[in-house]
Structure 1
Amino acid sequence: MKAQIILASASPRRRELLDQIGIAYEVWPVDINESPKVNEAPVDYVRRIAAEKSEVCHRLSAHRGLPVLGADTAVILNGRIMGKPKDKVDALAMLHRLSGQTHQVMSAVSLRGRTHGEALSVTEVTFREISEQEMLAYWATTEPADKAGCYAIQGLGSVFVQAIEGSFSGVVGLPLFETAELLLQQGIQILHE
């Protein structure tokens, strides 16, 4: 199938989600500085990173003539961004903070083509209490090592999730409702004959 968009991300989870809704894409990951700015609010951060990814990739791939999709996802607890764990100690500290708490997952999407559209998904995720033994066993699986907030809701991390209010796909890394709306604005339909 001929590519309909360019995905400005190397994330296998975003590829799986686009596959799920039948969108053909080319992968063009871009290397940008993803450090938060001083006093930058989490919502501003995820929107900025998604927009920068789509902007840089759009410039680099302009000769392809395809819309470019950039996205960013952040796990937020008590107003602070929880990135990917640096090591085991950092991972266990993150899981301790998330245990028995409700946090937010913000996923921003930026699509550049004939027009530029942006969308934001905010999901509330509540974790049950997690024992020290479970935290150690989860870290040993290697699943949380490269995940924002130190867990994968689509994987083993799902056993910690007591409740979710919002977009499951947004927590995975690409909110499909919002993405489909942006694609439609570019003339790309998900469901058609």
Structure 2
Amino acid sequence: MSASPPFALVLASASPRRQELLNSVQATFTVEVADIEEKRGHDEDPDQYVQRLAAEKAGAVRLRQNTATSSSVVIIAADTIVVNGADMTEVLEKPQDFADAQRMWSSLSGSDHVVMT
């Protein structure tokens, strides 16, 4: 029999892939989606942007935690973006629909790009 972990694990993401990763290591966790505005600041570098999104997601979920038990909660939050273009400033986020996804795939085809999480 395995002992319960000394903390509750919370995934601050609706991402099926992130859930799959935690399930693959047999982690016991709950999902709490952080409802934050995902909008890049005008002068925000892509790496700053993706880090800020992850921090804001964790913070939003943290605020909803019971303060009596919050010290025993570990929150996992992340975001993923793709940076494209010769100057690596075009940020591609979640596609709005299939046509948007196709447009993104076309723009990535044959070009250098970076995936940031």
Task: Tell me the TM-score normalized by structure 1.
Answer: 0.50
Aligned ranges 1:71-150 → 2 under 5 Å: 71-78=78-85, 79=88, 80-107=90-117
Instruction: Name stretches of at least 5 consecutive residues in structure 2 with no aligned partner.
Output: none
Q: Which position in structure 1 is the counterpart of 2:54? A: 50
How many residues end up aligned between the 2 structures?
A: 107
Question: How far apart, in 2, do the equivalents of 1:86 and 1:24 lie?
Answer: 31
Instruction: Give the structure, 1 or 2, with the largest relative contact order (CA under 8 Å, sep 6 or more).
Output: 2
Question: 1:16 maps to what in 2?
Answer: 20
In the aligned structure 1, how far is the partner of 2:102 from the partner of 2:16? 24
Which deviations, in whole Å up to 9, do the C-alpha atoms of 1:72-119 show, x marking residues without a partner? Answer: 111111221112223454333222211122311100xxxxxxxxxxxx
Q: 1:109-155: CA deviations, max 9, x gaps?
A: xxxxxxxxxxxxxxxxxxxxxxxxxxxxxxxxxxxxxxxxxxxxxxx
Q: Which runs of 4+ in 1 moved over 4 A?
A: none
- Cα distance in structure 1, aligned partners of 2:96 and 2:15: 18
Runs (5+) with no aligned partner, structure 1: 108-193
TM, length-normalised to structure 2:
0.79
Over the aligned positions, Cα root-mean-square deviation in angstroms equals 1.9
